[in-house]
Amino acid sequence: MEGLCICARFLEDGDMFTVDWLIAELRGLVSVSGEPIQRLGAYAVEGLVARLASSGSAIYNALRCKEPVLPASMELLSYMHVLYEICPYFKFGYMSANGAIAEAIKEENRIHIIDFQISQGTQWITLIKALADRPGGPPHIRITGIDGGGGLEIVGGRLKMLAQQFKVPFEFRAVGIPASEIQVENLKIQPGEAIAVNFALVLHHMPDESVGTQNHRDRLLRMVKGLYPKVVTLVEQESNTNTAPFFARFVETLNYYSAIFESIDVALPREHRERINVEQHCLAREVVNIIACEGVERVERHELLGKWRSRFAMAGFKPYPLSSYVNGAIKALLGKYSSKYTLEEKDGALYLGWMDRHLVSSCAWR
């Protein structure tokens, strides 16, 4: 870890002779199948090399974690699925958000869920099943799935089949454009429907005022507030890499991702091929992007919950309490994983952590 930080410091200072020498030394110390810090170190070194070569954006685009469910990419889909199964990060976010949504719409008969990054649609499987059992019958559910990456029709088809199976009146609408480009007219709001908006691990991809003239983070929040939603859910990585200068960002990235790599180490053997694929496609792409890229090319721009709170408050939102029932369900979920995972409730938000490091935060607003 220290050698990596020394190399990053020399890179920031422009001492390329020392950087080249250190990178050659570091390559002999890191390994994609070693200790967690050696594995993270391998990708951090690639990030430093990519920064020197200005190739970070190309690497980020070549590695894929959240591919749509298409026959040609079944292998790629499995990386995301393996990560979903071996670590509770996604399940934690989905469960806490779904609990807030279920609570907010419990009296409603027509529900419109707007998901700004629907990915594989996995989050909505449990909610559809839960609403199917609602006393008095299930409500009519409409999901608007946003994803600029394609494959939305397949995701929608799977959810429709599930809704039919559980006899839930259901509509799916695909919006195949990046979340940052969404305007109100793309959402086709209908009178009489209760709106729930889901921001699950997506807002940190939106460029803000530090990147260009358009601050899409705050624009989207103001736009969503204008829809008068019953609830807005936010799940984000608890890390600070948005506006941090290079060296501080490098150190933060090592600290944050070392906890993630340690948690994976507990779940899968080191020589496990799937583990290497998961780390390369789902985590290394983020690490390289944070370390190697600047400006619009840097897509991974995490902010701490304190900063998100101020953004939501500025847009006119007030906190919406998460239900205590959900806390119990998440504690039961974590019981199936390592005892090193922690769950903390603080100021109306939930934090999932690994030992003493918060990794993912979840909260709701209205």
**In terms of pLDDT, which residue wins out, 170 or 67?**
170
CATH number (domain holding residue 222):
3.40.50.150
In this structure, how many other beta carbons lie within 10 angstroms of the beta carbon of residue 317? 20
pLDDT in the model for residue 1? 77
Higher pLDDT, 97 or 120: 97
pLDDT for residue 66 is more than 70 = no
181 and 118 fall within a common domain: yes
Question: Residue 135, exposed/middle/buried by CB under 10 A (0-12, 13-18, 19+)?
Answer: exposed
46 located within any domain? yes
* Residue at 75 is within a domain: no
pLDDT of residue 314: 97
Span 227-241, average pLDDT: 98
How many domains, in total, are found in the chain?
Answer: 2
| Mean predicted confidence (pLDDT) in 91-96 | 96
Task: Specify whether 6 is located in the same domain as 26.
Answer: yes
Q: Does residue 105 lie in a domain region? A: yes
**pLDDT bracket for residue 119 (50, 70, 90):** confident
The predicted pLDDT at position 72 comes to 45
pLDDT at 137 exceeding the cut of 80: yes
At 79 the pLDDT is 81
Q: Does residue 168 sit in the same domain as residue 315?
A: yes
Do 146 and 29 belong to one domain?
A: no
Residues 161 and 229 grouped into a single domain: yes
Residue 70: pLDDT over 50: no
Based on the fold, state whether residues 247 and 158 are members of the same structural domain.
Answer: no
| Residue 68 pLDDT exceeds 50 | no
CA-CA-CA-CA torsion sign (83, 86, 90, 91) = positive
Residues 141-164: pLDDT tens digits? 999 999 987 789 989 999 999 999
Q: Note the pLDDT tens digit of each residue in 15-54.
A: 999 999 999 999 999 999 999 999 999 999 999 999 999 8
* Mean pLDDT to the nearest integer, 99-126: 95
**69 pLDDT exceeds 70?**
no
Mean pLDDT, the chain, rounded, equals: 92
Residue 78 lies in a domain: no
CA dist., res. 61 & res. 302, Å (int):
18
The pLDDT, as a whole number, for residue 71 is 41
Looking at the fold, whether 127 and 213 belong to one and the same domain comes out as: yes
Task: Tell whether 234 and 249 lie within a shared domain.
Answer: no
257 shares its domain with 226:
no
Q: Is the pLDDT of residue 4 over 90?
A: yes
Question: Is the same domain home to 216 and 285?
Answer: no
CA distance 8 to 15: 10
Query: Does residue 323 form part of some domain?
Result: yes
Identify whether residues 136 and 207 lie together within a single domain: yes
Residue 73 clears pLDDT 60, i.e. is over it: no
Is residue 190 in a domain?
yes
Say whether both 141 and 191 belong to one domain: yes
**Contacts by 164-167 with C-beta closer than 8 Å and gap 24+?**
166/128, 166/129, 166/132, 166/138, 167/132, 167/138
Q: What is the mean pLDDT of residues 280-298?
A: 94
Structural domain range at position 57: 2-62+243-297
Structure tokens at 57: 């954006």
Write down the pLDDT at residue 269: 83
DSSP 88-113: SHHHHHHHHHHHHHHHHTTT-SEEEE
- Look at residue 74 and tell me if it is in a domain: no
Reduced to 3 states (helix: H, G, I; strand: E, B; else coil), residue 362 is strand
Given this model, what pLDDT does residue 67 score?
53
Residue 220 has pLDDT above 70, yes or no: yes
State the Cα torsion 278-282-286-287 to the nearest 10°: -10
Residue 291 lies in a domain: yes
pTM: 0.94
Q: Alpha-carbon distance 213 to 265, whole Å?
A: 42
